[in-house]
Structure 1
Amino acid sequence: MAGAEQVQDRSFPLSAGILFGLGLGGFFDGIVLHQVLQWHHMLSSWYPINSIPNLELNTLWDGIFHSTTYVFVVIGLFILWRTAHRRHLYWSNKLLAGTLLIGWGFFNVVEGVIDHQFLGVHHVNELMPREQWIYWDVGFLAWGLAMLVAGWLLVRSGRAEQATARTVRA
Structure 2
Amino acid sequence: MKQNNNKNTRHRNVWSGFLFGIGLIAFVDEAVFHQLLRWHHFYDKSTTDIGLISDGLFHAFSWFATIAGLFLFADLRRKNSLLLRRWIGGVLLGIGMFQLYDGIIQHKWMRIHQIRYVENVVIYDIVWNMSALIILFIGLYLIYRVKNDNPVKRDSPK
Tell me the TM-score normalised to structure 1 length.
0.78
Distance 1:64 1:90, change over 3 A: closer
1:15 to 2:25 alignment? no
**1:115 Cα offset (Å):** 0.9
How do 1:43-58 and structure 2 match up within 5 A? 43-44=43-44, 46-47=45-46, 54-58=47-51
Q: Which has the higher helix share?
A: 1
State the match for 1:27 in structure 2: 27
State the match for 1:153 in structure 2: 141
Distance in structure 1 (CA, Å) of the matches to 2:20 and 2:73: 10
State the match for 2:125 in structure 1: 137
**1:150 Cα offset (Å):** 0.8
**1:6 Cα offset (Å):** 4.4
Q: Check whether the contact 2:92–2:139 (CA below 8 A) recurs between aligned residues.
A: yes
Distance in structure 2 (CA, Å) of the matches to 1:61 and 1:10: 36
**1:97 Cα offset (Å):** 2.2
**1:107 Cα offset (Å):** 0.4
Q: Which protein has the larger Cα radius of gyration, Structure 1 or Structure 2?
A: 1
Identical amino acids, percent of aligned pairs: 24
**1:162 Cα offset (Å):** 3.9
Post-superposition Cα deviations, 1:74-102, rounded to whole Å, max 9, x if no partner, equal 111111222322x222442x223211110
State the match for 2:56 in structure 1: 63
1:88 to 2:83 alignment? no
Post-superposition Cα deviations, 1:7-40, rounded to whole Å, max 9, x if no partner, equal 3276462100000001111011111111111111
Distance 1:157 1:39, change over 3 A: same
Residue in structure 2 matching 1:97, options 88, 94, 101? 88
Number of residue equivalences: 148
Q: Check whether the contact 1:10–1:88 (CA below 8 A) recurs between aligned residues.
A: no
Q: Check whether the contact 1:42–1:61 (CA below 8 A) recurs between aligned residues.
A: yes
Post-superposition Cα deviations, 1:107-129, rounded to whole Å, max 9, x if no partner, equal 01111122101111111112x22
Tell me the TM-score normalised to structure 2 length.
0.83
Q: Check whether the contact 1:13–1:80 (CA below 8 A) recurs between aligned residues.
A: yes
Q: Check whether the contact 2:13–2:82 (CA below 8 A) recurs between aligned residues.
A: no
Distance in structure 2 (CA, Å) of the matches to 1:90 and 1:61: 35
State the match for 1:51 in structure 2: none
Letter in 1 for 2:114: H
Distance in structure 2 (CA, Å) of the matches to 1:112 and 1:153: 22
**1:142 Cα offset (Å):** 1.2
1:75 to 2:68 alignment? yes
1:118 to 2:109 alignment? yes
Distance in structure 1 (CA, Å) of the matches to 2:96 and 2:17: 12
Q: Aligned to 1:146, what secondary structure does the other structure show? A: helix
Unaligned runs of 5+ in 1: 48-53, 164-170
